[in-house]
Amino acid sequence: MKAVALTRYLPVSDPQCLLDVELPPPHPSGRDLLVRVKAISVNPVDTKVRAPKDKIEKEPKVLGWDASGIVEATGSDVTLFRPGDEVYYAGDITRPGSNAELQLVDERIVGRKPRNLSFPESAALPLTAITAWESIFDRLGIDRSGRNSGQAILIIGGAGGVGSIAIQLAKLVGLRVIATASRPDTEAWVRELGADHVVNHHGPLPEQVRALGFQDVPFIANFSNTDTHWQAMAEIISPQGKIVGIVENSGPLELGLLKSKSAGFVWEFMFTRSMYQTPDMGAQGQLLNELATLIENGKLRSTVKTTLSPIHAENLRTAHKLLESGKTIGKVVLTDWC
Protein backbone atom coordinates (compact mmCIF):
# COMPACT_ATOMS: atom_id res chain seq x y z
CA MET A 1 0.00 0.00 0.00
CA LYS A 2 1.03 3.61 -0.51
CA ALA A 3 1.97 5.65 2.56
CA VAL A 4 3.88 8.74 3.63
CA ALA A 5 6.34 8.05 6.41
CA LEU A 6 9.61 9.07 8.05
CA THR A 7 12.73 7.30 9.20
CA ARG A 8 14.58 10.38 10.46
CA TYR A 9 13.25 13.39 12.36
CA LEU A 10 14.13 16.42 10.24
CA PRO A 11 13.10 20.05 9.66
CA VAL A 12 10.16 20.45 7.32
CA SER A 13 12.47 22.24 4.88
CA ASP A 14 14.34 18.96 4.33
CA PRO A 15 12.67 16.90 1.56
CA GLN A 16 13.70 13.74 3.44
CA CYS A 17 11.52 14.64 6.45
CA LEU A 18 8.49 12.89 4.89
CA LEU A 19 8.83 10.23 2.19
CA ASP A 20 6.58 8.34 -0.18
CA VAL A 21 6.88 4.63 0.66
CA GLU A 22 5.28 1.27 -0.09
CA LEU A 23 4.31 -0.79 2.96
CA PRO A 24 2.63 -4.19 3.39
CA PRO A 25 -1.11 -3.88 4.07
CA PRO A 26 -2.18 -4.50 7.68
CA HIS A 27 -4.73 -7.16 8.67
CA PRO A 28 -7.49 -6.59 11.26
CA SER A 29 -8.04 -8.68 14.37
CA GLY A 30 -10.03 -8.27 17.57
CA ARG A 31 -11.95 -4.97 17.60
CA ASP A 32 -9.98 -3.42 14.76
CA LEU A 33 -11.41 -1.99 11.58
CA LEU A 34 -9.33 -1.97 8.42
CA VAL A 35 -10.16 1.38 6.82
CA ARG A 36 -9.37 2.45 3.27
CA VAL A 37 -8.36 6.06 3.85
CA LYS A 38 -9.99 8.57 1.48
CA ALA A 39 -8.91 11.85 3.07
CA ILE A 40 -6.73 13.07 5.94
CA SER A 41 -6.05 16.32 7.75
CA VAL A 42 -3.00 17.65 9.55
CA ASN A 43 -2.75 18.85 13.15
CA PRO A 44 -0.03 20.40 15.33
CA VAL A 45 0.59 16.96 16.85
CA ASP A 46 1.88 15.81 13.43
CA THR A 47 4.49 18.56 13.33
CA LYS A 48 5.49 17.98 16.96
CA VAL A 49 6.04 14.27 16.41
CA ARG A 50 7.98 14.96 13.19
CA ALA A 51 10.11 17.72 14.77
CA PRO A 52 13.92 17.26 14.63
CA LYS A 53 15.41 14.90 17.20
CA ASP A 54 18.34 12.46 17.39
CA LYS A 55 16.46 9.31 16.55
CA ILE A 56 16.31 6.98 13.55
CA GLU A 57 13.41 4.60 12.97
CA LYS A 58 14.31 1.07 11.87
CA GLU A 59 11.04 0.85 9.95
CA PRO A 60 9.15 3.70 8.26
CA LYS A 61 6.92 5.47 10.79
CA VAL A 62 3.53 6.63 9.55
CA LEU A 63 2.09 9.77 11.15
CA GLY A 64 -1.40 11.23 10.86
CA TRP A 65 -4.30 11.41 13.30
CA ASP A 66 -7.35 12.50 11.34
CA ALA A 67 -9.02 10.48 8.61
CA SER A 68 -12.19 9.56 6.83
CA GLY A 69 -12.67 6.47 4.73
CA ILE A 70 -14.50 3.23 4.09
CA VAL A 71 -14.36 0.08 6.21
CA GLU A 72 -12.68 -2.62 4.11
CA ALA A 73 -12.60 -5.47 6.63
CA THR A 74 -13.16 -6.10 10.34
CA GLY A 75 -11.64 -8.08 13.17
CA SER A 76 -13.45 -11.03 14.71
CA ASP A 77 -14.76 -9.06 17.71
CA VAL A 78 -16.14 -6.04 15.82
CA THR A 79 -19.85 -5.34 16.43
CA LEU A 80 -20.32 -1.65 15.58
CA PHE A 81 -19.35 -1.53 11.88
CA ARG A 82 -19.23 -3.69 8.78
CA PRO A 83 -17.41 -3.52 5.44
CA GLY A 84 -18.68 -0.68 3.26
CA ASP A 85 -19.46 1.69 6.16
CA GLU A 86 -18.21 5.26 5.75
CA VAL A 87 -16.38 6.40 8.90
CA TYR A 88 -14.22 9.14 10.40
CA TYR A 89 -11.83 9.10 13.35
CA ALA A 90 -8.67 10.52 14.91
CA GLY A 91 -7.05 7.22 15.82
CA ASP A 92 -4.48 6.28 18.43
CA ILE A 93 -1.08 7.99 18.76
CA THR A 94 0.53 4.71 19.88
CA ARG A 95 -0.29 3.01 16.55
CA PRO A 96 0.57 3.65 12.87
CA GLY A 97 -1.22 6.76 11.63
CA SER A 98 -3.62 7.67 8.86
CA ASN A 99 -1.10 8.83 6.25
CA ALA A 100 -1.51 5.50 4.48
CA GLU A 101 -3.99 3.93 2.08
CA LEU A 102 -5.05 1.38 4.71
CA GLN A 103 -5.16 1.81 8.49
CA LEU A 104 -6.15 -0.28 11.49
CA VAL A 105 -8.22 1.52 14.12
CA ASP A 106 -10.17 0.30 17.16
CA GLU A 107 -13.91 0.49 16.44
CA ARG A 108 -14.58 2.15 19.81
CA ILE A 109 -12.91 5.41 18.75
CA VAL A 110 -14.55 5.53 15.31
CA GLY A 111 -17.74 7.37 14.30
CA ARG A 112 -20.03 7.18 11.29
CA LYS A 113 -19.14 9.83 8.70
CA PRO A 114 -21.69 12.68 8.50
CA ARG A 115 -23.89 11.88 5.52
CA ASN A 116 -23.96 15.46 4.25
CA LEU A 117 -20.18 15.95 4.26
CA SER A 118 -17.57 14.84 1.75
CA PHE A 119 -14.63 12.71 2.83
CA PRO A 120 -12.31 15.78 2.96
CA GLU A 121 -14.84 17.80 4.98
CA SER A 122 -15.22 14.89 7.41
CA ALA A 123 -11.48 14.28 7.75
CA ALA A 124 -11.07 17.84 9.05
CA LEU A 125 -13.15 17.14 12.14
CA PRO A 126 -12.24 14.20 14.41
CA LEU A 127 -9.15 15.30 16.36
CA THR A 128 -10.21 18.91 16.77
CA ALA A 129 -13.83 18.01 17.51
CA ILE A 130 -12.91 15.41 20.13
CA THR A 131 -10.45 17.81 21.74
CA ALA A 132 -12.95 20.67 21.78
CA TRP A 133 -15.81 18.47 23.02
CA GLU A 134 -13.78 16.90 25.81
CA SER A 135 -12.38 20.33 26.78
CA ILE A 136 -15.80 21.99 26.98
CA PHE A 137 -17.94 19.22 28.41
CA ASP A 138 -15.60 16.73 30.15
CA ARG A 139 -12.81 18.93 31.47
CA LEU A 140 -14.59 22.24 32.15
CA GLY A 141 -17.79 20.44 33.12
CA ILE A 142 -20.07 22.73 31.12
CA ASP A 143 -23.59 21.35 31.06
CA ARG A 144 -24.73 20.12 27.66
CA SER A 145 -28.40 20.83 28.36
CA GLY A 146 -27.77 24.56 28.69
CA ARG A 147 -27.70 25.13 32.45
CA ASN A 148 -24.62 27.35 32.00
CA SER A 149 -26.39 29.43 29.37
CA GLY A 150 -25.46 33.11 29.59
CA GLN A 151 -22.12 32.50 31.28
CA ALA A 152 -18.92 33.61 29.57
CA ILE A 153 -16.05 31.56 28.21
CA LEU A 154 -12.72 32.88 26.95
CA ILE A 155 -11.38 30.77 24.08
CA ILE A 156 -7.70 31.48 23.41
CA GLY A 157 -6.70 30.43 19.90
CA GLY A 158 -10.20 30.78 18.51
CA ALA A 159 -9.28 30.63 14.81
CA GLY A 160 -7.31 27.38 15.01
CA GLY A 161 -8.70 23.92 14.37
CA VAL A 162 -9.77 23.19 17.96
CA GLY A 163 -10.92 26.75 18.68
CA SER A 164 -13.06 26.75 15.54
CA ILE A 165 -15.05 23.78 16.87
CA ALA A 166 -15.05 24.97 20.49
CA ILE A 167 -16.68 28.28 19.54
CA GLN A 168 -19.52 26.42 17.85
CA LEU A 169 -20.02 24.00 20.75
CA ALA A 170 -19.98 26.82 23.31
CA LYS A 171 -22.62 28.75 21.37
CA LEU A 172 -24.70 25.60 20.99
CA VAL A 173 -25.14 25.43 24.79
CA GLY A 174 -25.77 29.16 25.18
CA LEU A 175 -22.41 30.49 26.39
CA ARG A 176 -21.22 34.02 25.69
CA VAL A 177 -18.02 33.50 23.73
CA ILE A 178 -14.96 35.75 23.89
CA ALA A 179 -12.50 34.44 21.30
CA THR A 180 -8.98 35.58 20.56
CA ALA A 181 -7.77 36.48 17.07
CA SER A 182 -5.01 38.79 15.91
CA ARG A 183 -5.63 39.50 12.21
CA PRO A 184 -8.62 40.81 10.24
CA ASP A 185 -9.11 37.44 8.52
CA THR A 186 -8.99 35.43 11.74
CA GLU A 187 -11.30 37.90 13.49
CA ALA A 188 -13.78 37.56 10.64
CA TRP A 189 -13.53 33.77 10.86
CA VAL A 190 -14.27 33.52 14.61
CA ARG A 191 -17.18 35.97 14.29
CA GLU A 192 -18.55 33.86 11.42
CA LEU A 193 -18.44 30.83 13.73
CA GLY A 194 -20.43 32.67 16.40
CA ALA A 195 -18.01 34.49 18.72
CA ASP A 196 -19.77 37.33 20.55
CA HIS A 197 -16.57 39.26 21.23
CA VAL A 198 -13.02 39.17 19.88
CA VAL A 199 -9.82 40.18 21.69
CA ASN A 200 -6.22 40.13 20.48
CA HIS A 201 -4.04 37.48 22.13
CA HIS A 202 -0.94 39.55 21.33
CA GLY A 203 -2.23 42.29 23.62
CA PRO A 204 -3.00 42.36 27.38
CA LEU A 205 -5.95 40.00 27.74
CA PRO A 206 -7.18 41.05 31.23
CA GLU A 207 -7.57 44.68 30.17
CA GLN A 208 -9.31 43.73 26.93
CA VAL A 209 -11.72 41.37 28.67
CA ARG A 210 -12.58 44.00 31.31
CA ALA A 211 -13.14 46.58 28.56
CA LEU A 212 -15.90 44.30 27.25
CA GLY A 213 -17.65 44.51 30.63
CA PHE A 214 -16.42 41.23 32.15
CA GLN A 215 -14.61 41.55 35.48
CA ASP A 216 -13.69 37.87 35.18
CA VAL A 217 -14.98 34.73 33.41
CA PRO A 218 -15.90 31.33 34.88
CA PHE A 219 -14.43 29.29 32.01
CA ILE A 220 -11.22 29.56 29.99
CA ALA A 221 -10.24 27.17 27.18
CA ASN A 222 -6.66 27.79 26.08
CA PHE A 223 -5.84 26.16 22.75
CA SER A 224 -2.64 28.16 22.39
CA ASN A 225 0.61 28.58 24.35
CA THR A 226 0.10 27.70 28.02
CA ASP A 227 3.22 29.45 29.34
CA THR A 228 2.52 32.70 27.48
CA HIS A 229 -1.01 33.08 28.79
CA TRP A 230 -0.69 31.61 32.30
CA GLN A 231 -0.49 34.90 34.21
CA ALA A 232 -3.34 36.42 32.20
CA MET A 233 -5.56 33.38 32.73
CA ALA A 234 -4.92 33.41 36.47
CA GLU A 235 -6.02 37.06 36.53
CA ILE A 236 -9.09 36.61 34.32
CA ILE A 237 -10.52 33.40 35.80
CA SER A 238 -13.43 33.80 38.21
CA PRO A 239 -13.28 32.53 41.78
CA GLN A 240 -14.06 28.78 41.60
CA GLY A 241 -13.68 28.93 37.82
CA LYS A 242 -12.02 26.34 35.59
CA ILE A 243 -9.24 26.49 32.99
CA VAL A 244 -8.41 23.81 30.42
CA GLY A 245 -5.21 23.70 28.36
CA ILE A 246 -3.94 21.49 25.53
CA VAL A 247 -0.40 22.77 24.82
CA GLU A 248 2.27 21.34 27.13
CA ASN A 249 4.14 23.87 29.20
CA SER A 250 7.87 24.40 28.64
CA GLY A 251 8.55 25.76 32.14
CA PRO A 252 7.02 25.40 35.62
CA LEU A 253 3.49 26.79 36.00
CA GLU A 254 2.83 28.85 39.12
CA LEU A 255 -0.23 26.99 40.37
CA GLY A 256 -0.24 29.16 43.49
CA LEU A 257 -1.76 31.96 41.40
CA LEU A 258 -5.03 29.97 41.36
CA LYS A 259 -5.12 29.08 45.06
CA SER A 260 -6.95 32.08 46.53
CA LYS A 261 -9.63 31.74 43.88
CA SER A 262 -10.01 27.98 44.39
CA ALA A 263 -9.77 27.84 40.63
CA GLY A 264 -8.95 24.66 38.77
CA PHE A 265 -6.64 23.83 35.88
CA VAL A 266 -6.93 20.59 33.91
CA TRP A 267 -5.21 19.19 30.84
CA GLU A 268 -7.01 17.84 27.80
CA PHE A 269 -5.24 15.20 25.69
CA MET A 270 -7.58 13.46 23.28
CA PHE A 271 -5.38 10.35 23.02
CA THR A 272 -5.73 9.55 26.75
CA ARG A 273 -8.64 7.14 26.31
CA SER A 274 -7.00 5.08 23.55
CA MET A 275 -3.49 5.28 25.04
CA TYR A 276 -4.63 3.88 28.40
CA GLN A 277 -7.53 1.77 27.09
CA THR A 278 -9.82 3.45 29.63
CA PRO A 279 -13.15 1.82 30.48
CA ASP A 280 -14.95 4.73 28.77
CA MET A 281 -12.89 4.50 25.58
CA GLY A 282 -16.08 4.08 23.56
CA ALA A 283 -17.15 7.61 24.54
CA GLN A 284 -15.10 8.94 21.64
CA GLY A 285 -16.98 6.89 19.07
CA GLN A 286 -20.28 7.96 20.61
CA LEU A 287 -19.10 11.58 20.59
CA LEU A 288 -18.28 11.40 16.89
CA ASN A 289 -21.71 9.91 16.17
CA GLU A 290 -23.41 12.73 18.09
CA LEU A 291 -21.28 15.22 16.22
CA ALA A 292 -22.36 13.68 12.90
CA THR A 293 -26.01 14.17 13.86
CA LEU A 294 -25.40 17.81 14.83
CA ILE A 295 -23.70 18.42 11.49
CA GLU A 296 -26.50 16.73 9.56
CA ASN A 297 -29.02 18.90 11.42
CA GLY A 298 -27.12 22.06 10.45
CA LYS A 299 -26.02 22.90 14.01
CA LEU A 300 -22.29 22.52 13.41
CA ARG A 301 -20.08 22.95 10.37
CA SER A 302 -16.79 21.58 9.13
CA THR A 303 -13.78 23.86 9.41
CA VAL A 304 -11.87 23.07 6.19
CA LYS A 305 -10.05 26.12 4.86
CA THR A 306 -7.30 24.57 2.70
CA THR A 307 -7.49 21.39 0.58
CA LEU A 308 -4.49 19.77 -1.13
CA SER A 309 -4.58 16.88 -3.60
CA PRO A 310 -3.29 14.24 -4.03
CA ILE A 311 -2.02 12.69 -0.80
CA HIS A 312 1.73 12.34 -1.15
CA ALA A 313 4.89 13.42 0.65
CA GLU A 314 5.29 16.75 -1.13
CA ASN A 315 1.78 17.91 -0.26
CA LEU A 316 2.14 16.67 3.31
CA ARG A 317 5.33 18.67 3.67
CA THR A 318 3.42 21.71 2.39
CA ALA A 319 0.70 21.09 4.98
CA HIS A 320 3.28 20.81 7.77
CA LYS A 321 4.85 24.09 6.63
CA LEU A 322 1.46 25.80 6.78
CA LEU A 323 0.88 24.61 10.34
CA GLU A 324 4.37 25.57 11.47
CA SER A 325 3.82 29.09 10.12
CA GLY A 326 1.28 29.63 12.92
CA LYS A 327 -1.02 31.47 10.53
CA THR A 328 -3.46 28.77 9.49
CA ILE A 329 -7.21 29.26 9.86
CA GLY A 330 -9.38 26.20 10.39
CA LYS A 331 -8.03 22.93 8.99
CA VAL A 332 -5.69 21.79 6.21
CA VAL A 333 -6.95 18.67 4.42
CA LEU A 334 -5.44 16.28 1.88
CA THR A 335 -7.52 14.03 -0.35
CA ASP A 336 -7.12 11.28 -2.97
CA TRP A 337 -4.09 9.04 -3.34
CA CYS A 338 -2.09 9.53 -6.53
HEC string of the chain? CEEEEEEEECCCCCCCCCEEEECCCCCCCCCEEEEEEEEEEECHHHHHHHCCEEEEEEEEEECCCCEEEEEEEECCCCCCCCCCCEEEECCCCCCCCCCECEEEEEHHHEEECCCCCCHHHHHCCHHHHHHHHHHHHHHCCCCCCCCCCCCEEEEECCCCHHHHHHHHHHHHCCCEEEEECCCHHHHHHHHHHCCCEEECCCCCHHHHHHHCCCCCEEEEEECCCHHHHHHHHHHHEEEEEEEEECCCCCCCCCHHHHHHHCCEEEECCCCHHHHCCCCCCCHHHHHHHHHHHHHHCCCCCCCEEEEECCECHHHHHHHHHHHHCCCCCCEEEEECEC
Is residue 330 predicted with pLDDT exceeding 90? no
Q: pLDDT grade, residue 149 (50/70/90)? A: very high
Contacts of 338 (CB under 8 A, 6+ apart): 2, 310, 311, 312
Whether residues 118 and 140 share a domain: the answer is: no
Task: Calculate mean pLDDT across residues 142-156.
Answer: 97
> Helices 161-172 and 184-193 sit at what angle, rounded to 10 degrees?
30
In this prediction, residue 155 carries a pLDDT of: 98
Count the domains in the chain.
2
Task: Calculate mean pLDDT across residues 143-156.
Answer: 97
Task: Calculate mean pLDDT across residues 23-43.
Answer: 97
Whether residues 15 and 102 share a domain: the answer is: yes
- Provide the CATH number for the domain around residue 13: 3.90.180.10
Is residue 28 predicted with pLDDT exceeding 90? yes
Whether residues 10 and 49 share a domain: the answer is: yes
In this prediction, residue 321 carries a pLDDT of: 96
Task: Calculate mean pLDDT across residues 29-55.
Answer: 96
- Provide the CATH number for the domain around residue 187: 3.40.50.720
Is residue 114 predicted with pLDDT exceeding 90? yes
Structural domain range at position 55: 2-125+272-335
In this prediction, residue 338 carries a pLDDT of: 86
Whether residues 261 and 228 share a domain: the answer is: yes
In this prediction, residue 329 carries a pLDDT of: 87
Q: Which of 250, 267, 284 is the last residue of a domain?
A: 267
Task: Calculate mean pLDDT across residues 69-84.
Answer: 98
Average pLDDT taken over every residue of the chain? 97
Q: pLDDT grade, residue 195 (50/70/90)? A: very high
Whether residues 66 and 138 share a domain: the answer is: no
Task: Calculate mean pLDDT across residues 33-40.
Answer: 98
Q: Which of 267, 288, 307 is the last residue of a domain?
A: 267
Whether residues 85 and 149 share a domain: the answer is: no
Whether residues 96 and 137 share a domain: the answer is: no
Whether residues 246 and 281 share a domain: the answer is: no
Q: pLDDT grade, residue 34 (50/70/90)? A: very high
Whether residues 66 and 159 share a domain: the answer is: no
CA dihedral 330, 332, 336, 338 (to 10 degrees): 170
- 8-24: pLDDT as tens digits: 999 999 999 999 999 99
Q: Which of 207, 235, 267 is the last residue of a domain?
A: 267
In this prediction, residue 326 carries a pLDDT of: 84
Task: Calculate mean pLDDT across residues 104-113.
Answer: 98
Q: pLDDT grade, residue 127 (50/70/90)? A: very high
Whether residues 166 and 242 share a domain: the answer is: yes
Task: Calculate mean pLDDT across residues 242-264.
Answer: 97
Is residue 328 predicted with pLDDT exceeding 90? no
Whether residues 260 and 276 share a domain: the answer is: no
Query: Residue 120 region, left (φ>0) first, then alpha (ψ -120 to 50), else beta?
Result: alpha
Model pTM score: 0.96
In this prediction, residue 327 carries a pLDDT of: 83
Q: How far apart are CA 321 and CA 308, in angstroms?
A: 13
